[in-house]
Amino acid sequence: MVERTPMDPASENQFKRDLVTLIPHLRAFARTLCGDAAAADDLAQDTVMKAWDARSSYQMGTNMKAWTFMILRNQFYSEKRRSWRQTQLDQEAAERTLVAIDDPASPLALDELRQALIMLPSEQREALILVGAGGFAYEEAAEICGCAVGTVKSRVSRARRALQGILEEGAYDRDGLPAGDAMRSILSDAERLSGPR
Amino acid sequence: MGLMSNQPEKTKGPDLEEARLRQQAIGVKLRQMFDDVVNEPVPDEFLDILRRHDERAGGK
């Protein structure tokens, strides 16, 4: 390990405060990568630990959210490489998620979206989440994923099309719901959320 | 009522307009799904990680 100049106490405190405010976002990102909530929290906790240990390599004033998301993503893929081949893990995560999200209190449309999301290849899923939900610009998402901006753009657009296809065709199986029901419930939910007319 | 029944015909045609609406709806749900987790209370274990570091630093 490289010996680094330690942070001064004021910067360290600031770093810690900023890191704490990012924890909810790290948990949300981890949940979309792992699918299952317990594995996601383990991943997010590892990320907090790694970010803290690497604090002296963080440049104050740069985008700390992107920096921590990058650590989380690297951690996710290095664990994945260690344990299973990607396809196997995706399959297992999908199966665990299908069980885990069988929550009667959860709105139907959200369950269906989670199921559809877990069916996407992980590089499409992460790109769509970063840009579509995490509030990152394409450039930032490219930096987090270590790829070109154009690659992120095409992954996001492929992910959007694939999601819509899955939701419309009911490519998953949920209590024998007829195809197209998922998209219908998402549309009516979105209409309700967009406020009263 | 409903999104599908009373959409006026757009110059680009109803199919494109419909696709746009569907993408928009998916986007709304995606953000909702993400924000639901963001708004969950953070489990104590997370703060314990940083507290342990505090204690270690304070003991020096």
- pLDDT of A80 reads 75
For the stretch A123-141, pLDDT in tens is 999 999 999 999 999 999 9
- pLDDT of B11 reads 55
**pLDDT over 90 at A63, yes or no:** yes
| CATH number, domain A11-100, options 1.10.1740.10, 1.10.3860.10, 1.20.1050.40, 3.20.20.20 | 1.10.1740.10
Question: Which residues of chain A are in CATH 1.10.10.10 domains?
Answer: 106-197
Among B33, B38, B45, whose Cβ lies nearest the Cβ of A25? B38
Bigger pLDDT: A91 vs A196: A91
Q: Judge whether A152 and A145 are in contact, CB under 8 Å.
A: yes
- pLDDT of B12 reads 56
B43–A contact, CB cutoff 8 A: yes
- pLDDT of B10 reads 46
Find chain A residues with C-beta within 8 A of B46's C-beta. 23, 44-45, 48
- pLDDT of B2 reads 46
For the stretch B7-53, pLDDT in tens is 454 455 778 888 888 889 999 999 999 999 999 999 999 999 888 87
The DSSP string of A109-163 is HHHHHHHHHHTS-HHHHHHHHHHHTS---HHHHHHHHTS-HHHHHHHHHHHHHHH
A49–B contact, CB cutoff 8 A: yes
If you average pLDDT over every residue of chain A, what do you get?
Answer: 82
Mean of the pLDDT values across residues A153-162? 96
Which domain range does residue B49 map to? 14-58
Task: Name the domain count of chain B.
Answer: 1
Task: Quickly tell me which residue has 């819509």 as its tokens.
Answer: A164
- pLDDT of A6 reads 77
* Cα(A100)–Cα(B37) distance, integer angstroms: 15
Q: What are phi and psi of B5, to 5 degrees?
A: -80, -30
Mean of the pLDDT values across residues A167-193? 67
B41 in a structural domain: yes
B32 in a structural domain: yes
B53 in a structural domain: yes
- Which residues 6+ apart lie within 8 Å of A62 measured at CB? none
Q: Give B58 to chain A, closest Cα distance, Å.
A: 12
B4 in a structural domain: no
ipTM: 0.77
Of the pLDDT bands very low, low, confident and very high (cuts 50, 70, 90), residue A114 is: confident
Domain A106-197 fold is Arc Repressor Mutant, subunit A (1.10.10)
**Chain A interface disruption, residue of B29, B36, B44, most A CBs within 10 A:** B29
Contact A20 B50 (CB under 8 A): yes
- pLDDT of B60 reads 41
Q: Judge whether A16 and B46 are in contact, CB under 8 Å.
A: no
B8 in a structural domain: no
For the stretch A65-80, pLDDT in tens is 999 999 999 999 988 7
B28 in a structural domain: yes
Among B4, B38, B49, whose Cβ lies nearest the Cβ of A28? B38
